[in-house]
Chain A
Amino acid sequence: MRKCTILVVDDEPQIRRAVHHALEDDDTRVVEAANASDALTVAGAEQPELIILDLGLPDKPGIDVSRELRGWTDAPILVLSARQSDEEKVALLDAGADDYMTKPFSTVELQARVRALLRRTRTGTTNEPQVRSGALLIDLVARTAAVRGETVHLTPIEWELLRVLATQAGRTLTHRQLFSKVWSGRSSGDAQQYLRVHVAHLRRKIEDDPVRPQYIITEPGVGYRFVVQPDRE
């Protein structure tokens, strides 16, 4: 099996080294770029499976780099940002980035997010008939969800929410992305504000403890992310 390639783009050498060190192992090769133009060149040459992109590059705004990369590659983009503006994160995700992390991040969290994003591209979850996360089993063909073998009754909107989130596990979906995918233009008016209410209902049905959610994680001010938990049964 060919080694997986991850591209790290950051103008700070220490960050590049830290990320490099955290992600490199027997199956993973890490290549680096220090600015946007290098990043585009290296990405073209190496065809990485995943791109970790710092927003504060000296030569180009991160959102533009993200958009340019999206023009020709489907590789997940994980954005690193030192700023904490939610608007910026939302704009990035809407522009095609898959997930973001705010500096300073923990190495464990970085490894987990990278694993989640790679799992999605490697397995191509969308083609799998089932998504399993911990005690939750989602059958995309039968359109059912079950917790510990017990079928959960979901409304059509709740099912769509779960399906959209689960088939893009590891990816942070903004409120807007989620809304447009679930409602796909069928709704008018202020239905979008009820998105969070539907998610809360869904959580009460599938999570063991709604205040300690395992599957649907809230990214405050940004959106939601589905996490594939290891099989514990």
Chain B
Amino acid sequence: MTRSRWLPLLLWLGALAVATAVMLSVRSDLDKAHVTLVLLLIVLGASAAGGRTAGVTIAVMSFLVFNWFFLPPYYTFVIANPLDWLVLVAFLVTGLVAAQLLYRAQEEARIARERAAEIDRLATLGAETLSVGSAEASLRAVTEVIRNATGAARCEVYLRDSARDAGPLVEWVIATSNAAAEQRDGTVHLHASRPTEAELRALEGGSVLSLLLPLHSRERVVGVLRVENPDGLRLDRPRWRFLDAISYYAALAVERIRLVADAERAEALRETNRLKDALLAAVSHDLRTPLTTIKALAHDLGVLGDERSEIIESEADRLNRTVADLLDLSSLNAGALPVKVELNALDDLLGALGQRTESTLGSDRLKISLPAEEQLLVGRFDLVHSLRILANLVENAAKYAPDTRVEVMASREGQELVISVLDHGPGVNPQDVGRIFDAFYRSDDRPPDVGGAGLGLSIARRLAEAQGGSLSYAPRDGGGSVFTLRLPAADISETTDELLMKS
């Protein structure tokens, strides 16, 4: 650098000397204009080759040479003709301006070249990151481009989620979203956000061994870029700017890795769910078709007067409920049971409950009472799931407390609809209270009790929770059980009235 700056100056000083010698030998034949033109050519040449310093130096030297050798009286700096002053000063100003203009043009050209190189590198980077198949490969491509562009020996990117083994400095960068530089003398410089002037000079000077930059995507640190050179990083300002800009692309590549991984997981999950759905559909078809035939045949037997037909039909129904429970449990476990929370009237739910349980318990055994008030009770819940919960509770009560009345009562408490199913049965054994909502597959000490509450209650509770409600048990005063379903209530009185007015 130093040599290359002085060499053109010396060369052009030599050229000036030669030109002066030649012109001296023919001085008598030369006009002042000839001398001026030749010297100006030399000034321009020096400016072009050696930059501003060389240009200005040669301009001043030429000025002196012109005055000393070519303006009478010769060999003095005295000027006889005042008009020559004009020539001399014009020459000096022209030379200096030309040197300055040339310098500026060259500087602009140099910056343009650098910009072009940066754009080139970014374009390469973009092409590499987008065209490379896997996200990991594109990240490798990014680090390779950065390594080449910055002249570093190593370039690595640590992903946020897998940076545990990358050392405390990487973790610090992730935690604080600040940059860090490891110095040659073993100290570490931590930058609040950007390096200061002094630190930039340290980077240029090569006293920094490695630089760690946080990679941001959507205002979140997604990873850390680390460039390292055991002989010292030499990052001049354009390279630093480039590094700063390219870290954005590295962040995009990191983000792309994460998104691709997410998409692959989602795709795998979808495929699993699709298979599961297909399996469930096949299973439910294969189980329900024979049940349909069994029920039809049982009905025929009943028409012929066989009393056992009722038992066959109700057992077939029970089997069908178990199938439904198993299918629902499997959907719940897969997180694939759709929940449709909608505005529903309690009347509708309890009416559907009456319909559903008609065959098991007639109105003589099941008493469903609505609250006395005129106002409809409404809530936001899934009618189908809530109906299943209540039907399950009612059927359980009918089973465990045979020949007694089952009551369903409903009311509103604050922001909840409270629906209780009460029976006069034996109630739940105190030591079992904590376990009645467990699905049977979880208890090892108890044989699967399909006919009992084992499966149904666990599903019921999960269905209640899936729609923002709850299901609880309490012993009933005077013996029996109270199961309470709570669902989110809704207020529509005004809106309904408005609708009614309008209609």
Q: Which residues on A are within 8 Å of B, measured CB to CB?
A: 12, 14-15, 18-19, 21-22, 56, 82-84, 86-87, 103-108, 155-158, 191, 193-194, 196-201, 203-204, 209-213, 217-218, 220-221
Contact = CB atoms under 8 A, between A and B. Distances in A.
B300 interface: yes
16 contacts: A18-B296, A21-B296, A22-B299, A86-B340, A103-B288, A103-B291, A104-B294, A104-B316, A106-B295, A155-B503, A157-B503, A197-B378, A201-B500, A213-B355, A218-B351, A220-B383
Given A86-B384, A200-B348, A108 B288 contact: no
Interface in B306-362: 313, 316-317, 320, 324, 327, 338, 340, 342-345, 347-348, 350-355, 359
B503 A156 contact: yes
A21 B369 CA distance: 40
B492 A194 contact: yes
A77 to B, nearest CB: 18
B500 A155 contact: yes
A212 B354 contact: yes
A218 to B, nearest CB: 4
B337 to A, nearest CB: 11
Interface string B273-315: 0000000010011001111111111011000000000000100
B363 interface: yes
Contacts of A213: 351, 354-355
Q: Which secondary structure characterizes the binding site on chain B? A: helix
B387 interface: yes
Given A108-B299, A194-B343, A200-B376, A15 B503 contact: no
B480 to A, nearest CB: 21
A176 B231 CA distance: 74
A137 B115 CA distance: 88
Residues of B in contact with A, size category:
35 or more
Contact of A211 (B288, B294, B351): B351
B352 A107 contact: no
B374 to A, nearest CB: 9
Contacts of A82: 284-285, 288-289
Closest 8 CB pairs of A and B: A18-B296, A200-B345, A157-B503, A107-B299, A104-B291, A221-B384, A104-B292, A200-B347
Contacts of A203: 347, 351
Given A14-B289, A103-B292, A157-B500, 18 more contacts: A12-B293, A14-B292, A14-B293, A22-B299, A103-B288, A104-B291, A106-B295, A106-B299, A107-B296, A194-B492, A197-B345, A200-B347, A201-B376, A203-B351, A213-B355, A218-B383, A220-B352, A221-B340
A194 B492 CA distance: 9
B495 interface: yes
A12 B281 CA distance: 16
A21 to B, nearest CB: 7
A202 B495 CA distance: 17
A196 B499 CA distance: 13
B301 to A, nearest CB: 11
